[in-house]
Structures are given as C-alpha cells and as structure tokens.
Amino acid sequence: MPAYRYELQQESGDLLVGQLVAQSASGAASALKNRGGRIVRLVPLNTIETGFWRKVWSVLNAGNGPSKKDILDFTTQLAVMVRAGISLRMSIGGICEHVENDKFKVVLETIIEDIEAGCTFSDAISKFPKLFSPLYVNMVRASELSGSFGHMLDRIAKIITRQIETKKMIVGASIYPAVIGGLATIVTIFLLTFVLPRFAGVFAGKESVLPWPTIFLMDLSAWMTIYWWTVPIFLAAFTGTLYLCGRTERGGVLIDVLKLRFPVLKKMLRALYIMRSLQTLGELVNAGVPILSALEVTSNIAGNRQYHKLWQDVGEGISDGKRIHEVLNTTTLLPKPVIQMISAGEESGKLGDVLEEISEYYDRVLRDAVKTFTSLLEPVMIIFMGGIVGFIAMAIILPIFKMSAVVSG
C-alpha cells in the first residue's frame, strides 16, 4: 500500500508531522480525521521522493501526452468525488494515483502543488491550455464563484463527451475517401511502374498505330520508372507549401473562406462552426461568465477565421452599447432564423438556454450532413478509382486489338 506524509494541526495548535500507510488518499484522510485536528497537508511519499525524476522522465519519455479521453475521465471522477464531500486536494490526489499516462500524472501533481500553494483550481489548470480549454477554465472559474463546482464539472464532462463524439464522426467520414484515394494511388503506381513496362517491347516500333491513351501512358510509365523519386518530393513540397500558406494570415483566411464555399463540404463545416460557437457561448452564459469574456472564448474556439472575426465584432458591438442580434443582423455566417431566435432569447432573458437549444439542433444537422457526405462520396470514389483503372486497361487492350486487325487485314 502507498505511504503518505501528513501535517496535522491539533486542537492545541501544535503541528504534528508524520507518515502513515493507507490504500488511498481518502483512506489516509479518514484515518487522520479519527485522530482529531485539521489536515494541513497530505501528500503521497512517491510524489515527494520521486517527483523530480518523474518530471525528468516525462520530458524524456517519447510516449503520447494526455488525450481528450484522459481529460474526460479526470473530470468525471473529480465531479463524483467533489459531490461526495472529498476535498479538492484529496480528490485530485486520489485520481493521480491511478492515472496511467505519466505526462498527465505530472500535470496533476503540478496542479496539486499549485492548490497547496493557495491557487484556485481554475488558475492551476489555466497553466495547461493544451489540455484544459478556455471553455473549461472559464466554466470552472464561474462555478468557483457561484459554489456549483460539482454540478459544473458534470456539465463540462458532457461537453467533452460531445466534442469527442463529433471528432470521431468527422474523422470517420474522412477515413473512407482517404483509404480509397490511397488504394487508387497504389494501384496506379503499380500499373505504371510494373505492368506497362512489360508491354514496352510489344509496342516498340509500332507507335504509328498506337492510340493516344497508350502513347501517353507509355511515356508516363517510362518517366515514372526513371524519375519516380520526384513524386514524393513534389508531394512533400506541395504539402509543406500548403501548410506554410495556411499558417500565414492571408493564406489562412483564404483557406477558411474556401471551406465555407466548397460545394460538398460547406454545409457540414458551417453546421460544425455554428454548433461549436453557440454551444460554447450558451454554456458560458448559463455558467454566469460575463458576456464579453464569453464572446472572447467563443471567438477563440470557433475553428474558422470568419467566425472568429464574427464573434470579435459582436464583442466590440456590445462594448459600444449594441445587443448581440443587432450586430449579427449584418452577417451571412448565421441563418436569419438563428439570429431571430437569439433576439428572442435576449428579450426573454433566456439567452443561454436558447443558444444551447440551437446548438443541439445544429448538432443533428451536422450528423445528417456527415451521413449525406459519406453516402455521396462512396459512389464517387468508386467511379473515380474504376475510371483510372479502366483508362489504363483500355490503353493496353486497344492497341492489341488494333494490331490484330492490321495483321489479319
């Protein structure tokens, strides 16, 4: 069983320091409470003795960092323990003991140290923005002020669950075209570099009777056989150029605009951006976060520069004395019915509830759009792959028939 180092302030005011063995942090806390006094500090010995080396190992370790699932499990467990009356420090310590990811264990140990130093939980987790999003931090900060910490953690867990499901849905929709496209590429390269060169000797000296598809593919095959190494270089250069362009402000804006105009993807992506924005804004408003802070967080997690600017403009409009729907009336990024519902929410004082209902609707729209996208993409990819293979097969068979006709004539 793990050992713990404790500091117990007795009723007389004396500070008693010692060690004890218990199955868990909560068990150690119970044992100390039976002795009377107030627990000042309770820390696992392995955290004290090996904390430095654990941090060194986490830096050197090449394993994966904490995943969204790790954050979800942590949030769910913490919500249960806080509602059960266990102190925040003890709850995080108990969870930390059973975390399998070393890097996440170091993060939790750092959070524990900050809490012991007097930091709030929201301030402690804000030091890890890649793990705890601004939405997470702001909802926690609001709950610390309102006293609804356990309930807010449950709401955050539901949001993370929804985010994980949405990501799985989007990734799942992209797997099929990626697989088909990869197979088409492999088959094409195999036919050009292995099959067609076998026919080079058969067609040699007969170029005058060969149809243009055969001549084109034979030339392409000869080039691929010699200069095949230029293909991965070109693809790497193209991908790198596209990535670097996307990192620039002008290039990023162009890419985000194209996302909203591409015929097949625009409905799905527009639903994703609206759902994500309104869900975030609605949760923060219901949590009691000031509207300007909520809009700032919403703009940062929108996922598209066009929507980022939209929510920034809304924040500026509110600072100038306008209402949300008044600023949104000038945009085409949100449908008019959505703006009307937001206006009704402002008038009734139920803006947060209205935003959440709209986000739930667009969550269903997103799921339907993904299903439609995948159902349309499947036959298109099959036709595309079949067209490539059929074109190569036709280029091989046609000259054979043509030469047979010449010989028989």
pLDDT in tens, 209-246: 778 888 888 888 888 888 888 888 998 999 898 888 88
User: Model-level pTM?
Assistant: 0.70
Q: What angle do CA 302, 315, 153 make, to 5 degrees?
A: 55
pLDDT reported for residue 52: 45
The residue type of 186 is I
Residue pair 6/39 in contact (Cβ under 8 Å)? The answer is: yes
Helices (H) and strands (E) in the chain, counts: 18, 3
29-43, 85-99, 140-154, 339-353: the lowest-pLDDT one: 29-43
Q: Would the CA dihedral through 59, 81, 297, 242 be positive or negative?
A: positive
Q: What span, in angstroms and rounded, lies between the C-alpha atoms of 45 and 37? A: 21
pLDDT reported for residue 13: 62
Which tokens hold the place of 207? 């170029």
For 164, other C-beta atoms within 10 Å of its C-beta total 15
One fold for 3-132 and 151-409: yes
The residue type of 289 is V
Rounded to 10°, the helix 351-408/266-287 angle is: 160
pLDDT reported for residue 51: 46
Coil, strand or helix at 20: strand
Residue pair 247/212 in contact (Cβ under 8 Å)? The answer is: no
Which helix (DSSP H) or strand (DSSP E) does residue 168 occupy?
A: helix 149-190
The ranges assigned to domains in the chain are: 3-132, 151-409
CATH code of the domain occupying 3-132: 1.20.81
Residue 340, pLDDT > 90, answer yes
DSSP string, 227-248: HTTHHHHHHHHHHHHHHHHHHS
CATH code of the domain occupying 151-409: 1.20.81.30
